Amino acid sequence: MPAPAVPKDLAECVQRALEEDIGSGDVTALLVPAPQQALARVISREPAIIAGRPWVDAVFASLSAGIVLEWLVDEGESVTADQVLFRVRGPARALLTAERTALNFLQTLSGTATAVRSYVNAVAGTGASIVDTRKTLPGLRNAQKYAVVCGGGINHRIGLYDGILIKENHIAAAGGIEQAIRNARALNAGIPLMTEAETLVEASSALAADVDLLLVDDFSPEDLLEAVCLTRAHRAQGGSTLIEYSGGTTLDVVRGIAETGVDRISVGAITKHLRAVDLSMRFMS
């Protein structure tokens, strides 16, 4: 699986992280003689899906042009416990200073990709896709969205600017779902028009308007099946609306949701309930 496009804010993200960690200087690295060279390797202490190579590369490159990094795994690859991910050689001081920032990116993004892959595997064969949300770590939105794709998921809108998603508060403020959709159409924004529905009545209104995506929120199993039937009938008559389920989905229930015939399942947990992968960097003699 090819890696997704690297986000445009990668360099800025790495610079912020390095400034946060280094501050006025890495005083502990001064214990090592400046000319000393070193070779280190990074190991995964547990099974994982790897994501974040470009961030790691950028961190080490920012510290020294003399650092050479050799990756032994591909982006999106599944690794086992105690597997070597990469070897890195260069000035010892620079390696020591880069270590934590580089591993923070790799463990965080690999944790995201690993969570996504578990959901993707759970729905395999159903035709449903696993989709992320905007429930991401502040400042790491684009990085986590990248990791979602590495894990086999797909991105919902990146932010508030690249898709219209009418939610319950928009519906209430606009005076109803039909009015909210009319207002959205009037914008002529040239971006996807999606709407959330909390009832079958709202779902029917969204389908009548042929929105790009109908997001059914926390529907009962019976209502979800009915919404899928309505969506399929709509498409059989020439409509193009996709249906997505949202609402506290866990690994225990995701396959059952997928088997109803929904096109997509959005899961906030894959980016907000983050468990970083356990990684370790060790110098080699």
Active site amino acids: 100, 135, 167, 196, 217
The alpha carbon torsion through 231, 235, 240, 243 (nearest 10 deg) reads 20
Query: CA 230, 186, 188, 205: dihedral to nearest 10 degrees?
Result: 0
CA–CA separation, 84 and 281 (whole Å):
10
Q: List strand residue ranges (DSSP E) for 45-170, in order.
A: 48-49, 68-71, 78-79, 83-91, 129-131, 164-166
Long-range contacts, 175-182 (Cβ 8 Å, 24+) = 177/202, 177/205, 177/206, 178/205, 178/209, 181/205, 181/206, 181/209, 181/211
Phi, psi of 124, rounded to the nearest 5 degrees = -55, 135
With H, G, I as helix, E, B as strand and everything else as coil, classify residue 283: strand
Asked if 268 contacts 133 with a C-beta cutoff of 8 angstroms, the reply is: yes
Max CA distance (Å), the chain:
74
Pairing type for strands 279-284 and 37-44 reads: antiparallel
* Residue owning tokens 């709407």: 195
CA end-to-end distance (rounded Å), the chain:
35
Q: Residue 36 in contact with residue 12, Cβ under 8 Å?
A: no
